[in-house]
Chains A and B, each alone.
Chain A
């Protein structure tokens, strides 16, 4: 199984072929494609600024497992991205990965990051 770092690099490579507008569209598509559970509970709700986000985070042996969704499509895209990178990562790997820096490096637009209470999501995932 690939490491968190490898998965992040693969996605970064995919993004590197896209311009700013295409990256934005990519996030929308990623959000539309996210398959998820429909039985989220109130305690799984992460307080976001303008939209609702649900994250279920648990451990299987030493690995982190995540599922989640949002009522907003772009946020769902970000949730999907978080899952692609963090799901099945080891606890140590996940704690040492700076997702916000990775987003900035890959020019995923600031307005998308601001609107979703991303820090709250990362706290749930990284503790």
Chain B
């Protein structure tokens, strides 16, 4: 599959194990972006000429394509800048209206800052209280505790589908069923799920689902909010400006229907078109065979790590994840990351935008290796070799 990705053609020795951070882009995505800028770089929704119409058509076709892939309606797909912005939109435009001071918003102890700080800002504004399901000693999600908090009465529940630190996939189907049963609206942060698993928004039964384009092999600068239309339709715009209005007077305005109501100003047109191409690529390649291949590659990463004495994983490494975060006794994570980089192995080092979780695990800084569509046995062998050398040298 690497032959589809110019990143690997131009960096033939690169061992890329940082997919959870951002994914490489296939040629089809790069070409779609390039074609827009080369052949029809007009603005959308406001042009009275052919170039603009072509841009408009491509932009809306991308929306259609994304909706089809995700089992949603076209008008339920809102283009935002990224996952973070999409969560903030839901917090400020939907949840803010539900909240009375003292109302609870349920999160988990494993959230990325995107699904934490957004709610902290809302809590400060509205007087809401944030409650968190606990993380057990191994850094795993405690479903029973989450259910207990849910039953105790919350106004909203937001949770990640896959932890960006431990790779654990949450039992989102059961969690959503429980929340629905109690009439609690929900938001799923699917940023780490989407690159590895097909989902059907309608069947899943969440109220809102968010993810980023760049993690699903698409361009940066575009993220997706999928929301149930009747809920989107209740929401006021959060950012005002051009394109999202229906009528404008000096003292007041009326607004477009969703999704355009939430897409003020000129959107990242090329990135949206590129994301449409990325979804096509995912659709063609995220097969059951690929799923089995990724499981096998991940096992290779874990085997390499288990060869090293003193490896400690964050979370449960045997859970068929697509990433592993770890520390190695006697080796500083920063040193390990730098050494691996010298051997052309790209991993993530640090707190992975999840400071509270790392703090709870008593870890200053961890290393994360994450795999994706192009990961192959050569990558795993080179990783294992570089890791062994690194530990020998750095201890």
Contacts and interface: CB of A to CB of B under 8 A. Distances in A.
B203 interface: no
Interface of A: 21, 24-25, 28, 49-52, 71-75, 109, 111-112, 115-116
Interface residues of B, number: 15
B393 A115 contact: no
A7 B337 CA distance: 30
21 contacts: A25-B393, A28-B393, A28-B394, A50-B333, A50-B337, A50-B350, A50-B365, A51-B332, A51-B334, A51-B335, A52-B364, A72-B332, A73-B394, A74-B334, A74-B335, A74-B339, A75-B334, A109-B342, A111-B338, A115-B334, A115-B349
Interface of B: 332-335, 337-339, 341-342, 349-350, 364-365, 393-394
Given A51-B334, A72-B335, 7 more contacts: A25-B393, A49-B334, A50-B337, A50-B365, A72-B332, A111-B337, A115-B349
A115 B342 contact: no
A109 B340 CA distance: 13
A112 B342 CA distance: 10
Contacts of A109: 338, 342
Contacts, number: 44
Contacts of B338: 74, 109, 111-112, 115
Contacts of B394: 28, 73
Contacts of A25: 393
B342 A21 contact: yes
Nearest to B365: A50
Nearest to A28: B393
B366 to A, nearest CB: 10
A93 B349 CA distance: 36
Contacts of B332: 51, 71-73
Contacts of A74: 334-335, 338-339
Contacts of B393: 25, 28
Contacts of A112: 338
Contacts of B350: 49-50
A51 B394 CA distance: 15
B335 A24 contact: no
A51 B365 contact: yes
Most buried by A among B333, B334, B349, B364: B334
Nearest to B341: A111
A50 B342 contact: no
A43 B334 CA distance: 22
A15 to B, nearest CB: 16
A28 B341 CA distance: 14
Contact of B335 (A21, A52, A73): A73
A24 B334 contact: no
